[in-house]
């Protein structure tokens, strides 16, 4: 991996290895085995009950025989990057230096590729430790256009995924995200503005604004992540890349009338019955 004694600069080594620059200098704090197991259970509960806050999650865990305090649950939720979502708009405190953009998708019919893309970040458990995953998704076809794995919720791995998607597939008319600091940052929004892409952001805590990306996370985790205990970051990257290839090219979606994301995105015909 990274060799600090090599003549190539560390940033160039990171580029060649497809590692985010922030990961070069990040020294992760160890997380206990007990907390890792608890975070896995919280992640499963959050997928099925996204409206549950720290108090409800604590009570759900206690019903399963896991004794834990509400504050500890809340601390782990912050580490995992998850919050409870609800049907009502909540008052939020965005990053003071980052502007928030209006939600542009209300009442809009999105039925063609590259009309709107969306992005989100989720927590991915491993056998020891965890990573974060971002995916750039075409809204109409559910195609995962690019993704990145990182050991930190930094801005640069989000920008790298965005730039890769634009390089491979052109640019959408609208790009929608939540109000996370990675997406409101000047670095991320700067790429969107430079490519003349309209910026849309969910209302804080609005479950409906980003519901289809949440469904993709549920598919990723129940169909793959929870079935494979990744040994390390490299294995997580390799296995997730394989999953998304299959997800795009082989997995039919009921919302796409049984077609795959690739078939829908590239307007490919359904194969003839034998």
| Residue scoring higher pLDDT (49 or 142) | 142
The total number of residues written for the chain in this structure: 274
What number of other Cβ atoms are within 10 A of residue 241's Cβ? 11
Beta strand 174-177 pairing with 198-201? parallel
Judge contact between 120 and 134, C-beta under 8 A.
yes
State the pLDDT confidence band at 90, using cuts at 50, 70 and 90.
very low
- Round to whole Å and give the CA distance between 238 and 149: 10
The per-residue pLDDT for range 109-166, each reduced to its tens digit, is 999 999 999 999 999 999 888 999 999 999 999 999 999 999 998 899 999 999 999 9
Angle formed at CA 200 by CA 199 and CA 201, multiple of 5 degrees: 125
pTM: 0.78
211 contact partners, CB below 8 Å, separation of at least 6 = none
- Round to whole Å and give the CA distance between 124 and 120: 13
Phi, psi of 235, rounded to the nearest 5 degrees: -70, -40
């Amino acid at each position: 991996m990274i060799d600090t004694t090599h003549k190539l600069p560390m940033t160039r080594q990171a580029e060649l290895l497809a590692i985010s620059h922030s990961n070069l200098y990040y020294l992760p704090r160890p997380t206990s085995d007990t907390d890792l197991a608890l975070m896995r259970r919280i992640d499963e509960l959050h997928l099925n009950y996204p409206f549950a806050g720290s108090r409800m999650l604590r009570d759900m865990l206690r019903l399963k025989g896991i004794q834990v305090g509400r504050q500890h649950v809340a601390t782990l939720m912050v580490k995992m990057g998850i919050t409870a979502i609800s049907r009502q708009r909540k008052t939020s405190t965005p990053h003071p230096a980052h502007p928030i953009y209006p939600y542009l998708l209300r009442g809009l019919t999105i039925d063609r590729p590259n009309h709107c893309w969306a992005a989100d970040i989720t927590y991915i458990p491993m056998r020891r430790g965890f990573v974060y995953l971002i995916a750039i998704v075409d809204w109409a076809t559910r195609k995962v256009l690019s993704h990145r794995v990182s050991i930190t919720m930094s801005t640069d791995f989000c920008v790298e995924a965005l730039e890769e998607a634009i390089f491979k597939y052109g640019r959408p008319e609208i790009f929608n995200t939540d109000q996370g600091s990675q997406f409101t940052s000047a670095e991320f929004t700067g790429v969107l503005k430079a490519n003349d892409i309209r910026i849309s952001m969910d209302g804080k805590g609005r479950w409906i604004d980003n519901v289809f990306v949440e469904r993709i996370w549920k598919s990723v985790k129940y169909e793959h992540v929870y079935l494979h205990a990744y040994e390390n970051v490299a294995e997580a990257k390799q296995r997730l890349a394989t999953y998304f290839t299959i997800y795009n090219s082989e997995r039919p979606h009921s919302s796409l009338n049984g077609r795959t994301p690739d078939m829908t995105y590239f307007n490919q015909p359904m194969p003839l019955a034998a």
